[in-house]
Structure 1
């Protein structure tokens, strides 16, 4: 048998790009009306009476390929086509269009069709325009309808443009430039694997993002503006619950006492929101910790100039090329570091268990960075990024607190975010210490 021809104009198109009549061939169909270049080999000998319908069906079923050259061989039941990936686990599906995906491409499990689309777009630096509202459905059937939304989905699920080979690398089957081999690899050690797993479990799944709140249109009337502000504030509230679950799991594994766990959570909550939100900024879309996606315009309504600080911070993080291991490590350091000027308990320092764990995580970051960079200043640069997160979190606290006071939310809600903004303990265990002495807090003026 022959192979697909890369010069064929139909090569690389999914089966959905062809007419629906090809899905349900009938006994009376005349295949001669279709161009065979993309479907059947032209090298088969044809007898004096042409190719029979049975032979056509045999060749059709044996040669029909999906985007990535894997036999579909789907069966026809009446006039219905049985999906070849009907029984495939969701973890085996393409993160972009939910088609069958055999392996990861550019950092994400995707089908060959989306891999090829992403690669061509990046190599050609193609620019697309959405003719609708930039929120077109992207699935196996409709992925070719809007190239803009398909590419934005590729980016949103985490496909890495940096990995796509350039023209200078063509002919090397997508391999990146060779690097000197060394005994060190870019793999986390067993200790890092533990807290990285907890962190990865707490970040939004790209396949399950909530786009229902996304609104890129500017609102002008006061009522709509209030609704948009409350929408984003509620999304922050839900994000706090996600971070709390992460802290609980982390603390349970490392045997951190409940009182110290709640203290750590209160100290780091807003810093975690800043770090996590900035690290997932996707163009004009902001992916919050809860998986809710909002537009930058919506963030601006609630946060004002603090929103721009988060966007600038995101650009700085991008320049640092922070991967998932570094992100998990930075989040863990922020959790265990009690040097938060906004919310400090006047009581005994944190236990030696936390201090030792903190130092161990810091050392693991240093060791990991040595595998990636010869420049020892990278570690100090990352520490600066943590200080940036603390500074922005300080401003975020003031902005959210001001919003609560001006809208009357202080008397109507009692969420985790509300308690942290008011510098109140989040459990009865934190209200008094062992000597029944009331804890006091350092607060700030709005």
Structure 2
């Protein structure tokens, strides 16, 4: 009992000490967890980016030991060997080894022997079937995209009728290049001021072309429903645009020639001497820019009709009515070009941008007529003169409209100057 009484305080002290140590550990652990959670919360609320995952690593290319970009056609391969194998299989390439058919294939020598490289591809396990399946998959994806576009961009019966009428009108007033019997002339191939013989021939053809443009315009749906004054205004404003567009679709780039409606084929220099002068290079540049669009007869006809029926022309009596006529033409061209080229959605806006280029060239043409009048003895054919003069007057009126109003410096007699 005496021993117990002597030991008891000591045991109580040990018990209290252990209790305090335990509580301290619990508090420290809670503080650490609190700091950790608050740190995570700060990361979340401050938007601190988490470290990126380590890049995935692959075994070196099984074919040439170059750095691999992933597993291709069944094995780890680099981009070079992947592309080489795909092209070889898709095109059924047959290669020849000029040595003993046992060339070393590595990163440096892989392009020296295609035969041994292809055999190496097969030896490490690349699969022909994987290439075919990949090709079929891509083909199926393209077909799916094409079908989606066909369903989305569908010509209504009304728009289909407009396209049919425009295409027929364009074809019957402007024969395609393959329908013409080309012939050339032996005029000078050096630039001179003006070849009067070529000018006479060109002016005769231009008169006939203007008549064909008028005939085309009358067959554009709704055009003859406009007032006579608006029909004349639109024709005079757009005639040169349409003529330039038409001649540029008959451009032959490898010979750098253009073919006119009767088959007359002239070089760049001859067209310069026929009256185009400094306008020639602009026209040929525009023709070259049309080539990537690969427009067919229908698209050329629709673009011509859009140039014609344009509500922003000066001096129209009913511009809103003209804009209403243009809307279905724009929609028809958009749908037709989208269906014709499902994988090239920008062809429609690119075609519309050419209208701006046409108007720029036409404006230069109006300036050119002033020079032609001084160079040509006698008078111009009346139809050409009327069209060009009206276009020139239109350009001058547009410039006056853009010019700031003149400020008068005249001081009335009875008024004193401002102090």
TM-score (norm 1): 0.48
Q: What is the match of residue 378 of structure 1?
A: 347
Partners of 1:252 and 1:348 in 2: how far apart? Answer: 16
Q: Which aligned pairs between 1:31-430 and structure 2 lie closer than 5 A?
A: 180=143, 182=147, 184=150, 189-206=160-177, 209=180, 211=182, 214-215=185-186, 217-218=188-189, 225-250=195-220, 255-282=225-252, 283-289=255-261, 291-301=263-273, 302-340=275-313, 344-345=314-315, 348-350=317-319, 352=321, 354-371=322-339, 372-374=341-343, 376-409=345-378, 412-423=379-390
Partners of 2:287 and 2:242 in 1: how far apart? Answer: 13
Q: What per-residue deviation string (whole Å, max 9, x for no partner) do you get for residues 99-133 of structure 1?
A: xxxxxxxxxxxxxxxxxxxxxxxxxxxxxxxxxxx
Change (3 A) 1:319 1:221: closer
Change (3 A) 1:287 1:212: closer
Change (3 A) 1:270 1:289: farther
Partners of 2:323 and 2:213 in 1: how far apart? Answer: 21
Q: What per-residue deviation string (whole Å, max 9, x for no partner) do you get for residues 388-407 of structure 1?
A: 11111111222234212332
In the TM superposition, residue 251 of structure 1 has moved relative to its aligned partner by 6.1
- The answer to whether the 8 Å contact 1:213/1:292 transfers is yes
Partners of 2:359 and 2:181 in 1: how far apart? Answer: 28
In the TM superposition, residue 299 of structure 1 has moved relative to its aligned partner by 0.5
Partners of 1:335 and 1:324 in 2: how far apart? Answer: 16
Q: What is the match of residue 397 of structure 2?
A: 442
Change (3 A) 1:367 1:213: same
Change (3 A) 1:209 1:348: same
Change (3 A) 1:320 1:441: same
Change (3 A) 1:205 1:419: same
- The answer to whether the 8 Å contact 2:165/2:220 transfers is no
Q: What is the match of residue 105 of structure 1?
A: none
SS of alignment partner, residue 225 of structure 2 = coil
Partners of 2:270 and 2:395 in 1: how far apart? Answer: 36
Number of equivalences: 248
Partners of 1:375 and 1:238 in 2: how far apart? Answer: 36
- The answer to whether the 8 Å contact 1:285/1:296 transfers is yes
* Larger RCO (CA within 8 A; separation ≥ 6): 2
Supply the RMSD in Å over aligned alpha carbons.
3.5
More helix as a share of residues: 2
| Greater C-alpha Rg | 2
SS of alignment partner, residue 423 of structure 1 = helix
Range that drifts further, 225-234 or 189-198: 225-234
Change (3 A) 1:289 1:393: farther
| Structure 1: stretches of 5+ with no match in the other structure | 1-176, 426-438
- The answer to whether the 8 Å contact 1:274/1:310 transfers is yes
SS of alignment partner, residue 174 of structure 2 = coil
Q: What per-residue deviation string (whole Å, max 9, x for no partner) do you get for residues 59-91 of structure 1?
A: xxxxxxxxxxxxxxxxxxxxxxxxxxxxxxxxx
